[in-house]
Amino acid sequence: MQGSVTKRDKRGETWLIRVSLGRDANGKRIYRSETFHGKKSGAQDRLRDLIDEFKTHGADCPEPSKELLHAYLLAWAERTRDEVRPRTAANRLKCINTYFPSDPAMIKKFRLTDLGRLPLGKVSPTAIDEHLASLRRPKADGTPRLSHSSMKKVFSILRQALRYAVRKKKIAVNPASSDLIDVPRAPKQTKALALTLEQAQTFLEFAVLDRFRTLWFVAIFTGCRPGELLGLEWKHINLEKAEVRVEQSLYRPKGGGWTITAPKTPKSRRTMAQDIERLGWKAEHDRDFVFTNYNGSPLVSNHVTVSNLHPLAKKAGLPAGLNLYSLRHAHATIMLHSGNDARLVADRLGHSVVRQVLETYYHPPKDAQRDATARLGAALLGDRRLRPVGETVIKL
């Protein structure tokens, strides 16, 4: 299969790419042509991509879509909106409009490439690499434009959308696939702020007199995610069986209001035994939600954290930056260090992968290796010692 790259302007910024697909039934040669804007090296890379596509798909290779990438991404986000959680759908739209704009003014302002203005069929691995490089470029003050984890999320959205385009035969090959692009990898994450057993005990002692003491107690005793915690209704509390059921999550869009959504994953639907007596719950209540404002409306996670949790933590002498996820983290860590099975802890947290629980929430004590060695020696030898006799013989 042959192809060519021909200059179309004097400045060398526009190129005609032609690929020969062979001949039709009448012997007439068939070409697939495409105009490329940019450097010659980029046009040559695009030619190689087209040739690879045609070699893979032959005559069935779909005609490249002329829809602009930005418009396609918005349409994809709208089509798949009901397949993800509301927060995920909102984050996708924000990411598309921020990092793949089609507005020339935004592209110039944030010093991005014009990837969002490219027709879908002309989005190549080279164009994506250049765009990711522009996202890595530091701001004017020298600070990073995006963190490694944010870069990975941005790239993931693009890859998912282009994978969908392949399924719908808008393009033949996903130019963002892992075999064509080096996937941005985030460095190993630092452990989230978690309370030690002693700090958790101190926190609960100070929380006894707090207005939201039940919220703090339930957060530590259940390990629920903030949305699950604030979405608890009294119908999910079985006082007789001393159980709490997680059936939903509370989500608050930025525009205001609130909505009830399904838990994060199917595994997140769970029932947990609870020490109802310690939590101080009573059978009498006249509101739907367990944790509410004075008017009965559900709490806002950020508001209750800043207005109530932070002052309480400061009063107790605990580290700054404590939030509801910190209490979830404390629940998991204390459960694991108390000798509970990791599978059980994963079930209580709503995780399906035990390894993730151990990597995220288990923090071995400083002397853990020394203690483990001592326990191993006690199990193998008890009070006995190995005594060398001669040069090679060892007896008990």
Amino acid at 130: E
Q: Of the ranges 55-69, 270-284, 348-362, which is most confident?
A: 348-362
pLDDT at residue number 218 = 92
Q: Tell me: the pLDDT tens digits for 75-90? A: 999 999 988 888 889 9
Stretch 104-112: mean pLDDT: 87
Which letter does DSSP use for residue 283 in this model? S
> Which residues does 121 contact at the CB level (< 8 Å), separation at least 6?
34, 63, 64, 65, 66, 170, 171
Q: What percent of the chain has pLDDT over 70?
A: 87
Stretch 252-278: mean pLDDT: 84
Q: Which residue, among 153, 107, 147, has the nearest Cα to 131 in the 3D structure?
A: 107
Bridge partner residues of 245 (DSSP): 271
Q: Which residue, among 193, 173, 170, has the nearest Cα to 181 in the 3D structure?
A: 173
Residue 71 pLDDT more than 50? yes
Residue 369 pLDDT more than 80? no
What's the CA gap between 66 and 273, in Å, rounded? 57
CATH superfamily of 197-361: Intergrase catalytic core (1.10.443.10)
Q: Which tokens belong to 222?
A: 């259940």
What's the CA gap between 154 and 92, in Å, rounded? 9
Residue 68 pLDDT more than 60? yes
Where are the domains positioned within the chain?
Answer: 3-51, 69-167, 197-361
pLDDT at residue number 49 = 78
Contact 223, 328 (CB under 8 A): yes
How many CB atoms are located within 10 Å of the residue 91 CB?
15
pLDDT at residue number 215 = 93
Please write down the long-range contacts of 348-353, taking CB distance under 8 Å and 24 or more positions apart. 348/222, 348/223, 348/270, 348/272, 349/223, 350/225, 350/228, 350/246, 350/263, 350/264, 350/265, 350/267, 350/268, 350/269, 350/270, 351/267, 352/265, 352/267
Higher pLDDT, 12 or 101: 101
- From the number of C-beta atoms within 10 Å of its C-beta (0-12, 13-18, 19+), residue 381 rates as exposed
At 34, the pLDDT band (50, 70, 90 cuts) reads: confident
Stretch 155-161: mean pLDDT: 93
At 363, the pLDDT band (50, 70, 90 cuts) reads: confident
Buried b / exposed e over 274-295, threshold 16 CB at 10 Å, is bebeebebeeeeeeebbbeeee
pLDDT at residue number 205 = 93
pLDDT at residue number 396 = 45
pLDDT at residue number 390 = 54
Element at 4 (helix H, strand E): strand 3-7
pLDDT at residue number 257 = 80
Q: Tell me: the pLDDT tens digits for 230-251? A: 999 999 998 888 899 999 999 8
pLDDT at residue number 58 = 56
pLDDT at residue number 388 = 59
pLDDT at residue number 285 = 72
Stretch 309-325: mean pLDDT: 93
Element at 149 (helix H, strand E): helix 148-167
Q: Which of 217-221, 351-355, 371-375 has the lowest mean pLDDT?
A: 371-375
Contact 264, 220 (CB under 8 A): no
Question: What's the mean pLDDT when you consider all of the chain?
Answer: 83
At 393, the pLDDT band (50, 70, 90 cuts) reads: very low
Question: In 243-284, at which residue ranges do the beta strands (DSSP E only) sit?
Answer: 243-246, 249-251, 259-261, 270-273
At 121, the pLDDT band (50, 70, 90 cuts) reads: confident
Q: Tell me: the pLDDT tens digits for 288-297? A: 899 998 888 8
Which letter does DSSP use for residue 305 in this model? I
pLDDT at residue number 347 = 93
pLDDT at residue number 317 = 94
Higher pLDDT, 283 or 114: 114
